Structures are given as structure tokens and as C-alpha cells.
Structure 1
Amino acid sequence: MVTTHAAMGAALSALLLPVSPRFAAVAALAAFCGGVFPDLDLLVGEHRRTLHYPDYYVLLSLPLAGLAVLRPLTATVATASFVAAAALHSVADAFGGGLAPEPWIRDDHRGVYCRARRRWVRPRHWVRWDGAPEDLALHGVLALVCIVAFDGTVQWLVVLSLPVSAVYTAVRRRLPEWAPWLLE
């Protein structure tokens, strides 16, 4: 679920609180957005291929993190956090289900596309599919980290994402019959 990816990025930013509390909220907001960004390819291209870069986002995030450490500015921290969360999202998709409209059938080998290897990485099914109960549970744990660690906008974004996730989880298995065009 995109909400799980968003919360994952924001929760990762909580690691900055003891080191640099001044930038933690900025990092969390940027990471929340970076966690969402790869799934915008649902709107513009092939999902988990057009804006998912498990290889290149990781490679790009390393020098950006170094730059944020050497020049800790709002812009450098936000950029590094955004890209790191997009990397985390892209890599994490390989640990979920495939891209088929009914991924619980496990008949789709496409987890996420890796450009460096020019092939699809197979889904691992640690989270069986997007919107599975364990996806909602993971989102809940990550949201709790954010709720405890942050206040203000970060906290509210994560709190508001919880009912969205719960509704999506409740209807996910029915989506293929209700809206096949949505899952294409």
C-alpha cells in the first residue's frame, strides 16, 4: 500500500531525532512524499517500472545522504530523505506480491523492475499483496512510530493515512470484480 510506503519513509526519519532534531520533521515530510512518489507511475506508465528504481535510487541516495551530512540544510536533508524513501519503497516492493490484479493467486513474477539487470525482480510475498492484513499491520506499526516520534503535520498525515489503509484493506480483494479498469 502506498500508505505503508509513506509511513515507512517517515518512520525511518525518526532516526534523525537524536542526531538532528531540527531537521527530523523536514526529513519525515520529505520521506513521506518520497514514499508515495514511485507509485505515481500508476498514473503515468507501467506500475513498478516507470518510477520505481530500486537500483538507481539506492545509488543516488548515498551521495545525497553524504551531502546532507556535510551541508545540513533544509534542501539537502529533504532531498536526501525523499530519494532514500523512494529507494526504500522501490526495494520493499520486491518483498510484497506481484502485479497481477489478484496477487494472492501468485501467478505474476513481477515484483519490481531493476534497470541495472534489465529484468523484473521476483516478488518475495513477505507481505502477500498490497492491502493484505499484514500490510495494514505493518502500516499500523510504522504509523505508531511516527505518532510517538513526531507531532504536528507529520503526525496528522500518518494518522489520516490509517483509515485510508483500513478501508483499502477491507475492499482490496473485491477490487478486481468491482473495478477491473482500476487494476489494469
Structure 2
Amino acid sequence: MATTHVFTGLAVVAPVAALVPEFALPLAIGAILGGLAPDFDLVFAHRRTLHFPVSGVALAGPAVVAAVAVPSSATVALAAFAVAAWLHAASDALGGGPEMDPWNDRSERAVYDHVRSRWIRPRRLIRYDGAPEDAALAVALAVPALVVFDGWIRAVVIGGVAVSLAYALLRRRLVAWVPDWLE
């Protein structure tokens, strides 16, 4: 789920935000946007166009180094964005495929590796987005953000938890509601 990716990014930056609270807001914004950004390829070749599970570290690593070397709102937000986007792409290999009904295990394509020019196979530790284990993981990953962040970030996390749980309850039924042209 997109929310699981957002909560992963927030969980990664939460310890930094707790240690350096003046950067909490840019860290959170960067993590939220980075957790969402790869899925903007839903309208293109999903999990291929904007997902970089291997090469994404080539941007994330230097962005973190830059944020440590020259800490500013911009550098820490960029680092949080890059790390969250990379973790999103890399973790997609742990789930099912990108098809609308991955519980049928139809695809052996989880996410595209641009370095090797091939698809990484799905590991199915999370059977599909919105599976009960995905909802449980999302809730667990939301906890650090709920502890560290306040204000509207906390409200976004609480709303995201509600969306995660609702989506998990409806996920398998949603396929019947999706127009054929989206499949």
C-alpha cells in the first residue's frame, strides 16, 4: 500500500527528527513525498517507470551525505525523499506483482531493475498490497511517526492508518469495481 511506503519513510526519519527537531518538518515532508513518488508511474509502466530498486541507492546515498555535510531544510528533505523513494521501490520486491489481483500469483514481475534490465521476481512476504499483513505492517510502521511528529503530520499519519485499514478491508472487492481500461 502507498501508506505502508509512506510510513516506512517516516519510520526511517523519525529517529533523526527526534534528535534534530528543527528538521522534523522537512524530514517528514520529504519522507511522505518520497514514499508516494514512485507510484506516480501507475499511469505509465507501473513499477518500472519511476521505481529504481537498485540504482535508487545511487541518489539516496549522496543525498544523505549532503544532508549530513550541509544540513538545511532543503538537504534533509531531499535526503528523506530519496531514501523513502528508494525504500519504496526496493520493498516492492517483497510483495506480489503489480497486477490488479496479485493474489492469483499470475506475474513473476515485482519491480523492474534498470541496472540489470530485468524484472525482479516477487517474494510475496506481503502477499499483495492491502493484504492483512500489509495493514498490520502499516500500523506498526506508523507508530514511530505518531510518537515523534505532532500537528498536521500526526493527523496525516492517523488518517493514513484509517485509510490503510479501510483499504485492507475492501481490497479484494475493489478489483470488481475497477474499469476494464485501468487493468
TM bin, normalised by shorter chain, reads over 0.9
Per-residue CA distance 1:23-75 (angstroms, 9 max, x = gap):
133212210110000011113x1110111111222111111110100000101
The amino acid that maps onto 1:40 is F
Q: In the alignment, is the contact (CA less than 8 A) between 1:110 and 1:122 conserved in 2?
A: yes
Which whole-Å CA distance do the structure 1 matches of 2:58 and 2:65 have between them?
12
The amino acid that maps onto 2:95 is G
If the length of structure 2 is used for normalisation, what is the TM-score? Answer: 0.95
Q: How many residues align?
A: 183
**Which residue in the other structure is 2:30 paired with?**
30
**Which residue in the other structure is 1:165 paired with?**
164
Deviation, structure 1 residue 127: 0.6
Q: Judging changes above 3 Å, is the alpha-carbon distance between structure 1 residues 153 and 182 closer, same or farther for their aligned structure 2 residues?
A: farther
Which whole-Å CA distance do the structure 2 matches of 1:170 and 1:182 have between them?
24
If the length of structure 1 is used for normalisation, what is the TM-score? Answer: 0.94
Q: In the alignment, is the contact (CA less than 8 A) between 1:98 and 1:123 conserved in 2?
A: yes
Q: Judging changes above 3 Å, is the alpha-carbon distance between structure 1 residues 175 and 18 closer, same or farther for their aligned structure 2 residues?
A: closer
Which whole-Å CA distance do the structure 1 matches of 2:26 and 2:152 have between them?
10
Deviation, structure 1 residue 183: 5.0
1:52-63 aligned within 5 A: 52-63=51-62
Deviation, structure 1 residue 148: 1.1
Q: Give unpaired runs (5+ residues) of structure 1.
A: none
Percent of counterpart pairs with the same letter? 46
Per-residue CA distance 1:110-131 (angstroms, 9 max, x = gap):
1100100100000101111000
Q: Judging changes above 3 Å, is the alpha-carbon distance between structure 1 residues 179 and 21 closer, same or farther for their aligned structure 2 residues?
A: same
Q: Give unpaired runs (5+ residues) of structure 2.
A: none
Q: CA RMSD in A?
A: 1.4
Deviation, structure 1 residue 163: 1.6
Deviates more, 1:106-115 or 1:13-22: 13-22
Q: In the alignment, is the contact (CA less than 8 A) between 1:175 and 1:183 conserved in 2?
A: no
Deviation, structure 1 residue 108: 0.6
